[in-house]
Structure 1
């Protein structure tokens, strides 16, 4: 349910009556179609199918079951009830997998959260498809994971006539690097600074500039500035990707913050999650603990953009369907890029042919309430020829910037740890204004911007958060007036 796994007890009973297989416990269509699949898999594995009435119950019966991952457990439970397996063969065992007609065991989605649930429940052995074994072994070294290719081998193992050797868990590479370096971005000091501040404080970022100004390059390199995920975060992110069925082939634990860049023609279910039955995670949840980049944001349907407002505030997306309600995590850093006008002149305002009203309408496709939730709002200018063709050896690499981001995040984490917050972006506005109030002389520019209507109340709090991030990057313990002035400029696009 969402990214939370739960245990299902599979019961099988053989009784007198016409041969028939009945599955109870709120099965979905895929489970209802398992009858012929189970019979064919069992007989093609060299076993006899019971010629009696078979009742299989999936408990708890009040929770809807979906998917084909119950096939293996149901087939083995039926054979156990028929007496062809030794007593106790299934004790302390969880079985997950889909059966093919010839008895092969096929991979399924969501194995990682299922195995996590088994580990939390104290289960000692988990049997999964061989193709999911590497993923399952990411959970715990204390849990025995058995990967099997077919039903015949599984039955032989349960009878004690076949030993399936254990394999080591896949090695985890903490330096899963995309190869994209911030040193590739030339001529955009303001953009580079904004990306660094966003990464250090966990802030959302909006960039407006002409084509070729480096918006996409900056967004693509932002995940490389973020620190590696913690153990808990890695399992959480990997679980979401497991449910979506998009884990990488090596099945390594995802250590680097993910990056998602959906096309502007994407639908709302593809962005926030959806689909038939219980909804699946969308790009928003696949970017959990990472970066969600919306390029050409004004080209997205307005309703799709508006669907982001609540998840951005709550850090999770809740999707209601007739089959049930699922909740997926969505604690992302949103990066939005837009051209200043529909004509998208590469020289920006200098060669723009759009009327002023057209320019305003174009950018207003990103609604005010959504834009107000984006901390940093910077304007990028066209790259000058001298910067593009000049030397680049003086530009800082992602590694150098990432080290500053790490130190700034550690300083923020140490400061906010007693209160349960991790980054500056997590701190509630009332706490910043009351418990960590800055002197009036320091926030003079901020107060003037708020009184003049340049900032909303939400924008006021976001400037305070940015100020603390600028302070952390500079190695100070308290924001100074210059830090607040820079934060106001990064929020409003106007110098103090």
Structure 2
């Protein structure tokens, strides 16, 4: 008897429906075809034990299983439940006449209980797109898949619940997710707030500008100045994610199995990899490609602490993703792409000792040592960082103040209003959403300077020995500062403020 069960394979962040065809006929044998990996080939042992421990059995006949399309590689243990239900139906142990209505996925334990799977959200989205009535999967993944509206999502604990649903019409309870409530809960759980930061008003202002325009930023200062503390608070002033951004972010984390509690990721990610990270772990890849840290920070912040300590080759692979906001991984048989639209926040000491600008420090580095240290970061990478800000240690009287500074909520309100101006400005362009993404042509259209401002920029570039690469960055940042003040045109004071955020372009830093 031939039976068809529907599963799904995930490549990149998109799913493809897989038809599991099970045929039970006379003879002896177990044949599994359709490019399964080792985890799927081993499934017959898990399935046999699970069925035996729940009153079923593997039939002593010839079992042929084809996973179509046969030229698409399938991997992972999530097909256990699909295979088991197919075997039970094809051998007549259960009567399942409506298998065509459901996608079924889950990893079986030997006692028949179900373990969580990866990629539940992309699979649920694909099931809805292709017109399936429901999705049966492990209970621990139910909230994640339940985000998808107009699809019945049934979370089950063990295989007997599935067999009873099909064979005895015992109903399963669908999982319903209140998306609005999830947004509220996660936004209320913010751990870091700018009100905790003492002093550093200039740096906080710079980070507000970075958040408003989506600009990459680098913090330069000695150890203990508060660079990491400030970076961790940046997500708290970014505009709240909309439902499309939340779904994109959740899909990526779903693929790598990083969703632990709740279904929807509503808070912007903050990723901070160690400086020993490999290029594959940062960008993504591997024998079976997985998203890297830059994709896991999609719609959020990627923080690289002590930037010069990272291997230069690791930093260089970020150049293309920073520009394209997408990373493409190519292998001999396939190519996958992962989105990676993130804000890069980097920090570094100004010199190997960390006290290049501190005349009172006994461990000052020479100018030559400082140049070698800065030379670890390539010019093309710095090209993609719009804001450079020096972070100085906070004096004792500021640290001892009991008065709290401005909180993240107030700053976020201003940032959100500035982003709304940018959304309106770029509404006709689906690829550009905020100022940092502007192309050269858009800079010319939206960053027009009057004669006085143009003369100011010319004078500053000459007097401060700013490099040519600073020109477009200054204009982008000026546009964001004007947006924060709800000004239609860039004015001289906006330009003057933007110029001071180009520390690393000045002679004496990189020469």
Rounded to whole Å, the distance in 2 between the matches of 1:456 and 1:113 is 45
Give matches, 1:153-168, under 5 Å: 153-168=161-176
| Greater Cα offset, 301-310 or 459-468 | 459-468
**Partner residue, 1:71:** 80
1:27 aligns with 2:36: yes
Query: Contact (CA 8 Å) 2:466, 2:505: kept in 1 or not?
Result: no
Give matches, 1:316-327, under 5 Å: 316-322=326-332, 324-327=334-337
SS at match of 1:79: helix
1:337 aligns with 2:347: yes
Rounded to whole Å, the distance in 2 between the matches of 1:434 and 1:167 is 49
Rounded to whole Å, the distance in 2 between the matches of 1:318 and 1:262 is 20
**Partner residue, 2:115:** 106
1:389 aligns with 2:421: no
1:10 aligns with 2:20: yes
Rounded to whole Å, the distance in 2 between the matches of 1:348 and 1:35 is 67
| TM-score (normalizing by structure 1) | 0.93
Rounded to whole Å, the distance in 1 between the matches of 2:242 and 2:228 is 27
Query: Contact (CA 8 Å) 1:227, 1:256: kept in 2 or not?
Result: no
Query: Contact (CA 8 Å) 1:13, 1:81: kept in 2 or not?
Result: yes
Please list the CA deviations of residues 384-406 of structure 1 after superposition, one character each: whole Å capped at 9, or x if unmatched.
2332223534x211111111101
| TM-score (normalizing by structure 2) | 0.91
**Partner residue, 1:379:** 390
Change over 3 Å in CA distance of 1:87–1:34 after alignment to 2:
closer
Rounded to whole Å, the distance in 2 between the matches of 1:186 and 1:225 is 17
Change over 3 Å in CA distance of 1:265–1:493 after alignment to 2:
closer
Give matches, 1:45-194, under 5 Å: 45-140=54-149, 142-169=150-177, 171-174=181-184, 175-194=187-206
Q: CA deviation at 1:431?
A: 1.9
Rounded to whole Å, the distance in 2 between the matches of 1:111 and 1:441 is 57
Please list the CA deviations of residues 38-88 of structure 1 after superposition, one character each: whole Å capped at 9, or x if unmatched.
222222221132222211111111211111111111111122222333252
Change over 3 Å in CA distance of 1:24–1:448 after alignment to 2:
farther
Structure 1 unaligned spans of 5+: none
Query: Contact (CA 8 Å) 2:20, 2:67: kept in 1 or not?
Result: yes
Please list the CA deviations of residues 183-206 of structure 1 after superposition, one character each: whole Å capped at 9, or x if unmatched.
222221221111000000000001
Q: CA deviation at 1:382?
A: 2.4
1:256 aligns with 2:264: no
**Partner residue, 1:472:** 483
Structure 2 unaligned spans of 5+: 1-10, 507-511
Query: Contact (CA 8 Å) 2:97, 2:166: kept in 1 or not?
Result: no
SS at match of 1:334: strand
Please give the root-mean-square deviation of Cα atoms over the aligned residues, in Å. Answer: 2.1
**Partner residue, 1:206:** 218
Give matches, 1:179-328, under 5 Å: 179-249=191-261, 251-275=262-286, 277-322=287-332, 324-328=334-338
Q: CA deviation at 1:166?
A: 2.7
User: How many aligned positions are there?
Assistant: 490
Change over 3 Å in CA distance of 1:177–1:460 after alignment to 2:
farther
Query: Contact (CA 8 Å) 1:133, 1:147: kept in 2 or not?
Result: yes
